[in-house]
Amino acid sequence: MNLVERDLKVIWHPYTQMQTAAPPIPIVKGEGVVLFDENGEAYIDAVSSWWVNIHGHSHPYIAQKVAEQLLKLEHVIFAGFTHEGAVELAERLLAILPNNQSKVFYSDNGSTAIEVAIKMCLQYWHNQGMPRTKVLALKNAYHGDTFGAMAVSGRSAFTNVFESLLFEVEFIDLPDANNIESIKSQVSSIKTDLACFIFEPLLQGSGGMLMYEAEYLDQLMAHCRAENVLTIADEVLTGFGRTGKRFACDHLQQQPDIMCFSKGLTGGTMALGVTTCTQAIYDAFLSDDKLKTLFHGHSFTANPIACAAALASMDLFLSPETMENIQRIEERHARFALKIGHHPKLKEVRQIGTIIAMEWETGGQTSYFSNLRDKLYQHFLKAGIILRPLGNVLYILPPYCISNEQLDYIYTEIEAALEIF
């Protein structure tokens, strides 16, 4: 049996209809932006392998730091114990986050970072004897696949089956000039029940690479602060340069109370989640009463290998070269957006930082299940490019080390696809 046959015999893949999906492609090596399959075929990873890889695959510097760490300490229970990597990473992360962030809570993926954030908010109120149970979230949001993260995500085909089991959430439209005042009134009318407002700052990824303006998010955050409602910025996707600045919150005047990170945190090398919070939130859990403890922790909390990968990724991220690359991609995307912006097949081209999204005109509703998706996906795979459209929204979200030639090749293939589909 070859690898694909063995795979299909024993493996259930994520987000995959196993009856109809094409067989998986066995990848044997990654180098820079390129993945190689067992036949030596090369694929440009234009989606950074589910948005995690920011410095290219198998980066030698990260690999070396991980290897060194492996020979020193691979894992240690993080309750009652600590280690250098976890402390250094927390110190370095807090140094580059909005200055109200003062404590780091580790977990091991984006969804768990969100679960921790929600529990922090709900228990923050509970611990002070003022329980609040409602959460405010954005329509079309995506915060992960665990139950709490699903509950605060927009209702969609992903959540429908579980609808009756999800806790109650107030959903609002993306804030804009027209609706901001009515959203503010809505917040004021439920403020004593409202534990927190959770949002993906400026960019809703899985919702279809939907983008919105900092100005109205700022206004809403300021209103939440005035009304004593906590705010959670989910930077799982937007963190570490994706939006052109280090963090999407760097585009804002307001500072969130809680921030969530994963994906690019380790350069895509290891699974790691981080939830950061203000001193005030942390303080609400300090007590002689053990019942006020945050009872949350995962076996692999602050895994030393993951922390070593994150520290190495941070070194690369903070190098001038990476910021130059981010700007270079941003400029080239902007030029391409101008070039194709008025293409009759496209409803809209939008861009933030290193992400450009092209929404195909389908005459109907935007849908994750648009059959255009499969056609485009296969078209680009044949051209040696991994692009996974979200329904009729095609987007490029590359590792920052992608070359101008590789970008130009992707743009050319997209223009070709626009002629066909």
Footprint of ligand PMP (CB under 6 A): 109-111, 114, 142-144, 200, 205-206, 234, 236-237, 262
Q: How far is the CB of 101 from ligand PMP (least distance, A)?
A: 18
Distances in Å between the alpha carbon of 70 and those of 57, 58, 67, 308? 19, 16, 5, 9
Q: How far is the CB of 192 from ligand PMP (least distance, A)?
A: 28
Distances in Å between the alpha carbon of 407 and those of 26, 328, 413? 24, 11, 10
What residue number has its CB nearest to ligand PMP?
110
- Strand arrangement of the beta sheet that strand 27-31 belongs to: 27-31, 34-37, 42-45, 385-386
Residue in 124, 234, 257, 411 annotated catalytic = 234
Residue in 9, 15, 288, 289 annotated catalytic = 15
Backbone angles phi, psi at 202, to 5 degrees: 70, -20
- Examine the residue annotation and report whether 43 is marked as an active-site residue of this protein: no
- Phi/psi class of residue 268: alpha, beta or left (left: φ > 0; alpha: ψ in -120 to 50)? left
Question: DSSP code of 263?
Answer: G
In which residue are the tokens 């809505």 written? Answer: 186
Sorted by sequence, the CB contacts under 8 Å of residue 286 that are 6+ apart come out as 292
Q: Which is nearer to ligand PMP, 206 or 219 (CB)?
A: 206
- Examine the residue annotation and report whether 173 is marked as an active-site residue of this protein: no
**What's the rounded Cα separation, in Å, for the pair 365 and 255?**
35
Q: How far is the CB of 14 from ligand PMP (least distance, A)?
A: 9
Q: Which is nearer to ligand PMP, 143 or 246 (CB)?
A: 143
Q: How far is the CB of 395 from ligand PMP (least distance, A)?
A: 12
Q: Which is nearer to ligand PMP, 104 or 284 (CB)?
A: 104
Q: Which is nearer to ligand PMP, 57 or 143 (CB)?
A: 143
156's tokens: 């969609």
Q: How far is the CB of 191 from ligand PMP (least distance, A)?
A: 25
Q: How far is the CB of 211 from ligand PMP (least distance, A)?
A: 13
Angle made by CA atoms 375, 50, 401, in degrees to the nearest 5: 100
Residue in 212, 263, 395, 400 annotated catalytic = 263
Q: Which residues pair with 212 in a beta bridge?
A: none
Q: Which is nearer to ligand PMP, 101 or 262 (CB)?
A: 262
- Examine the residue annotation and report whether 234 is marked as an active-site residue of this protein: yes
Residue in 43, 106, 124, 142 annotated catalytic = 142
In which residue are the tokens 């020979």 written? Answer: 71
In which residue are the tokens 């692999």 written? Answer: 300
- Examine the residue annotation and report whether 15 is marked as an active-site residue of this protein: yes
In which residue are the tokens 């496209």 written? Answer: 346
Q: Which is nearer to ligand PMP, 234 or 413 (CB)?
A: 234
Residue type, 293: T
Distances in Å between the alpha carbon of 170 and those of 185, 296, 340? 13, 25, 37
Residues tagged active-site: 15, 142, 234, 263
